[in-house]
Chains A and B, each alone.
Chain A
Amino acid sequence: MKIIILGAGQVGRTAAYHLAREAANEVTVVDVNDELLRDLQDRLDIRTLVGSGTQPSVLEAAGARDADIFIALTNSDEVNMVACQIAWSLFNKDATRIARIRSADFTKHSKLFSSEDRAFAVDVPISPEQLVTDHVVQLINYPGALQVLDFADGRVRLVGVKATKGGALVGQQLKQLPTHIEGRDARVAAIYRGGHSIKPEGETVIEAGDEVFFIAARQDIRMVMNEMKRVEDPVRRIVIAGGGNIGFRLAQHLEEEHQVKLIERDPRRARKVSEQLSNTIVLSGDAADEELLLEENIDSADVFVAVTNAEEANILSAMLAKRLGCHKVMALINRPAYAELMQSGSIDIALSPQQVTIGSLLAHVRRGDVVRVHSLRRGAAEALEVIVHGVQGEGRVIGRKVENIPLPEGTTIGAIARGDQVLIAHHDTMIQRDDHVILFLTDRRHVEAVERLFDVPRRHAR
């Protein structure tokens, strides 16, 4: 695929990194800052181009004429929209155009992007802030989960949990699971022990400390989670550090059902945020200020979420909150290296905005009819939702039992969404046409093999 990315900011860089490491993609990154580009060019096998992404000449030089995917990720919504529109009007009309649109003001008017006579040729508006917010909200709704990922419009979920003593299944073989959750169904897709994946089989024993990924229907998630760890109380008190875009949205989402406090450093911003939130207590001050945290009863807070712009500040304030007695802390961390450092130790959950965002981009790059991609474990693993096309007897999937499908190593089929039904995959489940199959790949490098498996002779189903 020929891909053009506008904007070499945090999101653009990660997108370029993830897309360029797949051999089939040819990536060109456009930005006005040549220093950023030079740095990027040194590390990735991509082409870079200095210039404004809204200029037709720049877009043409970047190869907009034959680009398959056009991703506008600059930090300005307006630039992204205009760039997509220009790419559509002047160049390739068949390309998929994805734009980063932060302001909910734009996205809530469907006329702008999705209707017949849309104003801007944006096929897929994405908002990293919104995605991160949704991600955090999910984690808060399922206390104890490390990851909660939606498939099939949220009817199926992939959940990652750290197994702890007290979970009913911990210390037992996996094949005991059905007897524990009488009448319900779930499938363990992957187990990570000490950073390495081990193959989940009937005889595999779950140990405390394992990171377990399982797939289940939405209504069964809580029950299965309880198998892996002691029941956690629902979250009530939440402290958010940072009143920026993410912090504000988060508070907005949570303030109805939870008790939310928001700490913002800039008094003016704090004032503004407080005017727009009704049930949240907005505090003006430093989130790493011990006095302030204690004063606001951090020791009885259930969750502390640090989502300021500065990741170092997020890490430090989260660590401080943890030490002061907060039950669970999350920090927004951009650098994968930092995230890795922190997640295993002093911070419970490292939120990675890129990882959350990249999945929604990857879904458009994949061959075959991949509707959803979630990138996991810093991009090493991937979860996919694929629609099965074709007719009976054609291809290697339709009409076959799960056990007979030649899946690459480390790949499991977790669940199948068929119409309104959710089926948890077992070795004898038969795959039918138009099923949504949910797969988990412990090794991203096998994605291509999976694509080939599900790809019917090329045609665009989109």
Chain B
Amino acid sequence: MNFLTVQRILGLLLMVFSVTMLPPIGVALYFQDGHWQPFLDAFATLLILGAIVWFPARKCVRELRLRDGFLVVSLFWIVLSLAGAVPLWLSDRPDLTVTDAVFEAVSGFTTTGATVIVGIDDLPVSILYFRQQIQWLGGIGIVVLAVALLPMLGVGGMQLLKAESPRPAKDVRLTPRITETAKALWAIYLALTVLCAGGYWLAGMTPFDAIAHAFTTVSTGGHSTHDASMGYFDNVAVEIVASLFMFLGSVNFALHYFVLRHRRVTDYFSDPEFRAFFMLVVMLMVVTSGMLIVNNIYNPDVAIRTAVFQAISTQTGTGFFTTDYSLWPGALPVILLLATFISGSAGSTSGGMKVIRWLLIWKQGLREVQRLIHPSAEIPVRIGSKPVDWRIIDSVWGFFAAYIILFGVLMVAMMLTGADQVTAFSAIAACMTNYGIGLGEVASNFTSLSDFAKWLCVVAMLLGRLEIFPLLVIATPSFWRR
């Protein structure tokens, strides 16, 4: 392990990150909400802290190994979450405890969108903006951003990207240089965000709301500047724009890249994961609207509008809402919550276990059936027309097992804090899949949970965002053994 190099990179990162405190100051000055002090303090604190961490190790320029990569990535997320909590904690409106501030920041970075703040509409504009901005930074991956910005990471950048998103599919390089790949991803992300903001603005939002919501739509985060989330606008056009960009944000960004480069929209549908994701979204829409109509909750037109929006918001793991769906009848809330376990495509901004993994597991199941019928047949598992390496399938099962076990452990721990079963299940599910909306006590916000339960949620969110393994790896003794 190369601690000095890790320290140097972390210090640099903190210093770079401190710059993100400046836009909220601008917002505060522009809207004259008189709330720039916490951000200025946070800016100075983080800059100095970063410099202190960086300075002693500044000359240690060595290449990162895969192992260092895991450590750096995990620390990135943990340290930046804490750093993001600083201005929230320093602020007196809202007056948050350390736990709440960290919860809010982690929920932002991991694009979960769960909140412990009630009365969002009354907060200073700068704080509102900051919450949205955090989600946007976390969206495509803070590490991707770092790799794009810090070219000196070199090959190390690749180790970092690998550690941040252990993809089940073969890792697709968009360009030969990893820095260029990261830049391409961010360019797509930025373009989608700009388009989304334009769409919101045309649909009737104020420019501020348009930008703020574009940040959390493309990142499938789900923070809003209003307590009522998208319900505040009550505007079909806004919901259509939101649905479109939540969907696009949940498509593999590499696929966006190739579609753009080949200028062929049909490329989307030749990708098996995209097709599966598309099917899932459509199915969820049909089931939701059908059940709403059958149970006579809404008129058919309202039912379809609500169902379409809620289905996409859930399937993509965003967590916008136009109505409190936990009050819907029967199995519907649970169906929606379960959909977030699948969530969007690998290599997108969405959370959950990713469509491709479920697709592989599904195909494995089919193969077992085939094997029972033809015991001696050689049946490869295929995605599209390409057979999948058994190692990838192995890793999917490993991921699945680790996910379920950790989920169970966290849920039981949550129940030990006194939460009822529905609350515990849905809170951990909402956090681990980075969806952000639970059922029961945590249907609209996480305020009522105890401090310990909130920390459990923080862990769940980070585990979910980093797809379990990086955190698990650094928690194993053999990682630290030389």
Contacts and interface: CB of A to CB of B under 8 A. Distances in A.
Interface of A: 2, 20, 26-28, 41-48, 63
A63 B178 CA distance: 16
A45 B175 contact: no
* Nearest 7 interchain pairs by C-beta: A26-B176, A47-B173, A47-B176, A45-B155, A28-B176, A27-B176, A26-B177
B180 interface: yes
Contact of B178 (A28, A42, A45): A45
B231 interface: no
B175 A47 contact: yes
B66 A42 contact: yes
Contacts of B177: 26, 45
Interface string B160-184: 0000000000000101111010000
Secondary structure dominating the interface of B: helix
B151 to A, nearest CB: 8
A203 to B, nearest CB: 32
A44 B173 contact: no
Secondary structure dominating the interface of A: mixed
A311 to B, nearest CB: 26
7 contacts: A2-B176, A26-B177, A41-B158, A42-B66, A45-B177, A46-B176, A63-B176
A32 to B, nearest CB: 15
A337 to B, nearest CB: 17
A332 to B, nearest CB: 29
B108 interface: no
A47 B257 CA distance: 15
Contacts of B154: 45
Interface in B60-111: 66
B235 to A, nearest CB: 43
Contacts of A42: 66
Interface in B268-316: none
Interface in B132-164: 154-155, 157-158
Contact of B175 (A26, A43, A44, A48): A26
Contact of A43 (B155, B173, B178, B180): B155
Contacts of B155: 43-45
Q: For B157, B173, B176, B178, which residue has the most chain A Cβ atoms within 10 angstroms? A: B176
A46 B180 CA distance: 11
A222 to B, nearest CB: 43
A30 to B, nearest CB: 12
A97 B191 CA distance: 37
Contacts of B173: 41, 47-48
Contacts of A63: 176
Nearest to A20: B176
A358 to B, nearest CB: 18
A2 B158 CA distance: 19
Nearest to B389: A34
A200 to B, nearest CB: 29
B180 A26 contact: yes
Given A26-B177, A63-B176, 10 more contacts: A2-B176, A26-B180, A41-B173, A45-B155, A45-B158, A45-B176, A45-B177, A45-B178, A47-B175, A47-B176
A370 B155 CA distance: 28
Nearest to A62: B176
A159 B177 CA distance: 37
Interface in B29-80: 66
B385 to A, nearest CB: 14
A26 B178 CA distance: 10
Nearest to B258: A61
A209 to B, nearest CB: 31
B163 to A, nearest CB: 12
A190 B158 CA distance: 36
A308 to B, nearest CB: 33
Nearest to A26: B176
A204 to B, nearest CB: 29
A47 B158 CA distance: 11
Contacts of B157: 45
A47 B157 CA distance: 14
A435 B155 CA distance: 38
A63 B175 CA distance: 9
Nearest to B171: A41
Contacts of B180: 26
B77 to A, nearest CB: 23
A43 B155 CA distance: 7
A46 to B, nearest CB: 5
Contacts of A27: 176
Contacts of B158: 41, 45
A41 B154 CA distance: 13
Contacts of B66: 42
A415 to B, nearest CB: 35
B15 to A, nearest CB: 23
Contacts of B178: 45
A20 B178 CA distance: 11
B412 to A, nearest CB: 38
Contacts of B176: 2, 20, 26-28, 45-47, 63
B258 to A, nearest CB: 10
A28 B173 CA distance: 10
A323 B39 CA distance: 74
Nearest to B154: A45
A48 B178 CA distance: 12
Contacts of A44: 155
A48 B158 CA distance: 13
B433 to A, nearest CB: 30
Nearest to A43: B155
A44 B155 CA distance: 6
Contacts of A45: 154-155, 157-158, 176-178
A78 to B, nearest CB: 27
Contacts of A48: 173
Nearest to B157: A45
A41 B178 CA distance: 11
A20 B175 CA distance: 13
Interface string B178-205: 1010000000000000000000000000
A41 B177 CA distance: 11
B380 to A, nearest CB: 15
Q: For A20, A47, A48, which residue has the most chain B Cβ atoms within 10 angstroms? A: A47
Nearest to B173: A47
